[in-house]
Structure 1
Amino acid sequence: MTASKIPQHVAIIMDGNGRWAKQRKLPRIEGHRRGAEAVKRVLKAAQENKVKNITLYAFSVENWNRPQDEIDALMNLLERFLSDQLPQLIKRKIRLQVIGRYQELPERIQTLLRKSEAATQEFDEYTLGLALNYGSRTEVIDAVKAISKAAQAGEVDIDHLDYEGFRSYLYTRDMPDPDLVIRTSGESRLSNFLMLQSAYAEIYFSQVFWPEFDEAEFKTALAAYASRERRYGKTTEQLKA
């Protein structure tokens, strides 16, 4: 695959953990635990295939509506994942960037996230984005509030604000917009995930539940991306000119 056919940024909606567990008559948290193993496989596959940025939809603002015991289990799983994976991120020189209102997460999780971000902040080739307590609509509202304050302080000229200026206030301002969005488990929606940034992204819907998503499935998604023509509103003839 040529470099021009490799997406710079792949965003993934990791769906199907609960249904995977239900099919096997296992607790839902076992599905989430197996899903964490899939994350490790995909991070490895991303580096091997020269994908520079991966963003994972790990916990949405809507996920607070789940049963409290499941939320507690997810936070414990996230804590273990961060503790276990930080040495690997450092070894493989992957920067961790958290997007979302993670200040509303449990304090012990915030501490781990800040520690992990600080320990990997110098790495500039590969980035793992973790969307935690994230929602695209919430992100836009936060950006509008920040721009309004900047405008009142005379730091922004609203009349000349364009998308590039607006995106500098988004959580993802330090990452390119996604080229490819993958959603697993056969569902076909974005679920409030990077909706503004994904305006021109290619979308790939996998039928595989997230705990079963592996290197081969990731490469299949990359191949599907490489086969598509991205026109950004232009005609095929204009692109060839």
Structure 2
Amino acid sequence: MLDIDTRLLVIFFEIYQQNSVSKAAEQLGIGQPTLSIALNKLREHFNDPLFIRIENKMQPTELSNQIYPMVNEVLNRLKLIQNYNIGFDPKRSDYEFKISMTDISHLVLLPKLMNYLREHAPNIRIEILPISANTAKMMSNGEIDLAIGFIPQLEAGFYQQTLFPQHYIGVAKKNHPRLQLPEITKRQYCNELHVDVLATGGHYVLEHELQKYGVKRNVLVRLPGYLGVGLVVQETDAIATVPHYLSQILLK
């Protein structure tokens, strides 16, 4: 029986990720014939085609789907071993970290993070990616180094830490024609038009809490994220219920 070395596992991983022999070869920087020879060795070892060409894509077989998580785990552990005891000097490192963030984190945390890095790790670069349904998978694959935000869909197996508690607060434009700020009654809150934000899990938590108190909002507009909330509230009579730290940014 053929012994499987790390190189063959890496080739299997890339074909699975890319759904293409040519793209996998390009990603690995090797010739396509070399990769095809390696794939044939894997097929011989497992006595399975592993990948079948369907509509110009290399689709994994059931066996490939079964062994992929194990291959991924082995490669991740090898990466940890290879990097073990390698010192990290923030002043010298030019590593690019990939961080998933919610749009609130863009507004509240990202400027502070950038200023901190400029002072303490001037050569470090970061790439920001959105929080999505694929965030957990991308973290498992090593495609993302860190995720920051409210991510209730994250399953067990990830190290998680609370950065700070969060509560919601209502915001309205200055000189609102009907509201005497800073406090309003429950009846006034229900009677006003609202800006709703369908962002990650926070939206569902807010709706659940409002329903507990018998509050039903009259929604004027629903936004996919928080980035447009400030202008909508400023230019209309609608009010918005947003996380406290975001409200501090909007009130500046």
Quickly name the TM-score band, shorter chain normalised.
Answer: under 0.3
Question: TM-score under structure 1 normalisation?
Answer: 0.24
Which structure is larger by alpha-carbon Rg, 1 or 2?
2
Structure with a larger share of its residues in helix:
1
Relative contact order, CA 8 A, sep 6+: which one is greater?
1
Question: TM-score under structure 2 normalisation?
Answer: 0.23
